[in-house]
Structures are given as structure tokens and as C-alpha cells.
Structure 1
Amino acid sequence: MDQPLPRDPIADAQRNWERRGWEAQAAPMAAVTAIMRTQQLLMLRIEGVLKPFALTFSRYELLTLLAFTRRGELPMSRASSLLQVHPTSVTNAVDRLQAAGLVDRTPHPVDRRTTLIRLTSDGRDLARRATEALNREVFTDTGFDTDDVDALIRILARFRQQAGDFAVD
């Protein structure tokens, strides 16, 4: 957006819901809508930082996930599970990363049904450089106060856990 809107459309929507008699649902609707819009705004910033690296956020996540492993490789099914995306999405990301020389596919040494995704040295270098850019341009100053970040992490983790996103240890 070039110019900010003159008013908060989510607050306007909340008032409209209240006027329609949906008072009990108005604040939760506004909260959900605000989360969705915040996600869009953050993704715009992130994608802008990753564009010079010819990466989307999903491809960046896969490269970084591989970089965090001991050997720089994971079974495709495990990557899908850890990234919480459909296997088709991982296959698509791997296709593009492989075409760019950032990952390789290799057969699993024991399980013939499994394909490993292996990070190349170029992929490791690009993941490092992209992470440095994200740290510098997005994560150092997200736009949230430190106390808000801590509260958001707690609130969103509780929601995700209650929604079945992960089990409590």
C-alpha cells in the first residue's frame, strides 16, 4: 500500500458486526482478521527481503530447515511434517531449489521408498546470507515491542497447542 487508510477497517468491521447484533462474535472476528492482516503485512516485508535472493518464504524455510540439521539432509516426508505443509508443497519447493542448484535429491541409504533432500554448499551459503538479511531487516525490528513479542508467543502457542498443532511435553 502506498498510503495508509484513513481509518482502521477492522475496527469498522467490528462496529458493523456489533450493529448487526453479533456483539459476542465481533471482538473475536476482529482479532482473527487482525491476525490475518498482520500475517499479510509481515509476509510482504519478508518476501521483499528474500526477493534479491530469488527465494520465496517457503523455499527459504526449507533451506533453513536443512541447514539446521546435522548432515544438511532430511527425508522429504520429514521436511513436510516439520514445515507443516502438504508433501506436494515440499516437492514443488524442492523442484525449484534443485533447479537452482541449492538442494539435491538422493536415495535413502536404507529405505528405497524414501528420498532425501540434501543441501548443497550453494544452498547453505544462500540460506546463511538470506537469514542475515532477514535478521537485519525484519527480525531485529518487527514493529512489536519486546513485551508484546513475549506475550504474542505465549498466546499464539497456547492457541496452536489447543488446536492440536503440537503436543505439550
Structure 2
Amino acid sequence: MVRPRPLPVDPLAEAKRQWLAHGWTDAADGMTVVTSVMRAQQLLLARVDAALKPFALSFARYEMLRLLAFSRSGRLPLSSVVARLQVHATTVTSTAERLVRDGLIVREPHPHDGRAALLALTEAGRDLVDRATVALNDDVFADPGISKADAAELVAIVARMRKAAGDFSDPRPQPDAL
């Protein structure tokens, strides 16, 4: 991946300076937080996309495959996938349809609920997600671009933000196995 030349000035620091100059002092720190996190997300997503490109996977498709691979049987009800990925059911259904089309998952009838469906990982899907995980681990996750101490602090800060927004409640010490 070609890295762009660094800008001579941090545009987010300049934006904060402008916020302050325009008298928006109460919102300046918040604007800087929001735009900083959004810019960091863009940078990380570019790295993730580059790592997943050889596998013809988007991060959404990867997440669904990885979730199914983590489950005990390689299959989960569609409703569980929606809840765990924290995205709208329409998005999960659309992603699942593409994965079915590509032979990476199959839809199965739910054994106890005739109205529900299970999503099940195929061997091709398991092989692909395992290879993609190695690439993500090597190219992105092993070195996210900050120290281990900063990473732990950042995760803790963002977790507090997510919790305050109602994203989750206090977890049990160990999540239940799928």
C-alpha cells in the first residue's frame, strides 16, 4: 500500500483552532474527539481493506465468516448474527446472501423454529476466513500503529464511551461460549 505524504500541519488541530476562534469553545474538544476517531477509523479500515482484498472480502463479510467460525458448530441463527455483529437485520441478510452466492455459507432451516434460518459455514468459507485471519493478524492486528500500552488505554476509553452510549452492559468475566 502506498502511503500518502504526511501533511505539514495536523488538520484536526487546525480545525480545533478554528472552532475556538469562532467561539465554539464548548464544542471544540468534542469536535476534535469525533473527527479524530473518525479519521483513525478511515486509516484502520484502509489497512483492513488492503489485507482482505486478496480474499475478495469486505470487513462485513469477514466478520460474519469469523463469527460463524468461532461458534461451536459453525452455525448460528440469523437473529444471533444480527445481535452479535450489532448491525441491522437487512445488512446481515444482504451480506449473508452474497456469502451464500459465493459458496462460503449456506442457509439451513432452524431445527426448532420454522420461521427462522440458520447460517452455516461451508468448508470453503472456513478455509477462506482462516487464511484471511492470518493476513489480518500479520498486516493489521499485530501492529495497529500504537504501543501496547496506548492500545490498552484506547480500548478502555472507547469501551467507556460505548458503554455510556448503551452499546453494552458490564460483561461477565468470561463471555459464554457460542
In which range does the TM-score fall when normalised by the shorter chain?
over 0.9
Corresponding residue for residue 19 of structure 2? 17
Match of residue 116 from structure 2: 114
The aligned residue for residue 147 of structure 1 is 149
Q: What's the counterpart of residue 102 of structure 1?
A: 104
Find the partner of 1:91 among 68, 90, 93.
Answer: 93
Number of the residue aligned with 1:31:
33
Distance 1:76 1:4 in 2: 43
Greater RCO, 1 or 2 (C-alpha within 8 Å, sep 6+): 2
Cα distance in 2 for partners of 1:83, 1:74 equals 12
State the alpha-carbon separation in 2 of the partners of residues 87 and 159 from structure 1. Answer: 24
Letter in 2 for 1:38: A
Counting matched residue pairs gives 169
Distance (Å, rounded) in 2 between the aligned partners of 1:49 and 1:74? 26
1:67 to 66, 69, 79: 69
Partner of 1:2: 4
Opposite residue 60 of structure 1, the aligned amino acid is Y
What residue is the counterpart of 2:175 in the other structure? none
Q: TM-score, normalised by structure 1?
A: 0.97
Partner deviation per Cα, 1:12-66 (whole Å, 9 max, x = no partner): 0000000011112112211110000000110000011101100000000000000
Alignment of 1:44-59 (within 5 A): 44-59=46-61
Identity %: 51
* 1:64-99 alpha-carbon deviations (Å, 9 max, x no partner): 000000000011111011000001111111111111
Aligned match of 2:159: 157
- For 1:163 and 1:56, how far apart are their aligned partners in 2? 26
Once the two structures are overlaid, the 10-residue window that deviates more, 15-24 or 1-10, is 1-10
Q: Secondary structure at the residue paired with 1:111?
A: coil
Secondary structure in 1 matching 2:79:
helix
Matched to 2:145, the amino acid is G
Residue 5 of structure 1, CA deviation: 2.0
Q: 2-side partners of 1:141 and 1:130: how far apart?
A: 16
Runs of 4+ in 1 over 4 A off after TM superposition: none
The alignment's TM-score, normalised by the length of structure 2, stands at 0.92
Q: RMSD of aligned C-alpha atoms?
A: 0.9
Distance 1:144 1:124 in 2: 30
Greater CA drift, 58-67 or 24-33: 24-33
2:138 to 136, 139, 145: 136
* Aligned residue in 1 for 2:170: 168
> Separation in 1 of the partners of 2:50 and 2:124?
21
